[in-house]
Chain A
Amino acid sequence: NAGVTQTPKFQVLKTGQSMTLQCAQDMNHNSMYWYRQDPGMGLRLIYYSASEGTTDKGEVPNGYNVSRLNKREFSLRLESAAPSQTSVYFCATSGPPNQPQHFGDGTRLSIL
């Protein structure tokens, strides 16, 4: 009963490198989200997918792309990593409207 699984848990990149963060859920939820969390800034929404086949920009989408591969999987891609993208990235899912989100344990990403 894994819930929301994020891989990898830790990653160090050099400026300009690319990387894909993976998220998979076994909760049969339609909606999936990518957040970044920085000290003093709280959780900021990068992209979300209300259902399979749809994606929309959140508050801070610049420098990122996403793919909703199927109902279970939602990936986040950094095409050319920048130091400003050093952060902890969380994937979340939710079911019907008005229901809470369920989060993975995050990917800690450092860009040098």
Chain B
Amino acid sequence: EDQVTQSPEALRLQEGESSSLNCSYTVSGLRGLFWYRQDPGKGPEFLFTLYSAGEEKEKERLKATLTKKESFLHITAPKPEDSATYLCAVQAAQGGSYIPTFGRGTSLIVHP
């Protein structure tokens, strides 16, 4: 059974204090790993897709990396507006359905 585990569950940072969120996964035949950001009262918003080990994607203060067992979302010099829940989802080819499996998310709070 595919599993996706995100850690930590919650993270509090001071503005400017860099850190990383982890997404560990066990799937057969990874097709893609997705990072989403979710603000309170909103639906998840797509951030990045990673397809193969060694791949990296960047957007503003966020950088996502991928190995064969885990992905990291690095947040450099975060600002209060980066506060949100960050979700990781893994997609594998299961009988052709491509249904993603989501982790439970990391709730990030950045204090000014």
The answer on a CB contact under 8 Å between A100 and B102 is no
Interface size on B, residues (CB 8 A): 24
Nearest B-chain residue to A40, judged by Cβ? B104
The answer on a CB contact under 8 Å between B42 and A105 is yes
Given A98-B32, A100-B49, is A105 in contact with B43 using a C-beta cutoff of 8 Å? yes
Q: Which residues of B contact A41 (CB under 8 A)?
A: 104
**How many inter-chain residue pairs (CB < 8 Å) link A and B?**
53
The answer on a CB contact under 8 Å between B102 and A43 is yes
Interface size on A, residues (CB 8 A): 22
Determine how close the nearest CB of chain B comes to the CB of A112; give it in whole angstroms: 21
The answer on a CB contact under 8 Å between A106 and B43 is yes
Q: Tell me if B65 is interfacial: C-beta within 8 Å of chain A.
A: no
- Majority SS at the chain A contact face: loop
22 chain-A/chain-B pairs, Cβ below 8 angstroms: A4-B43, A42-B87, A42-B102, A42-B104, A45-B99, A48-B99, A50-B97, A58-B99, A92-B43, A97-B91, A97-B98, A98-B49, A98-B91, A99-B32, A100-B34, A100-B46, A102-B46, A103-B44, A103-B45, A105-B43, A106-B41, A106-B42
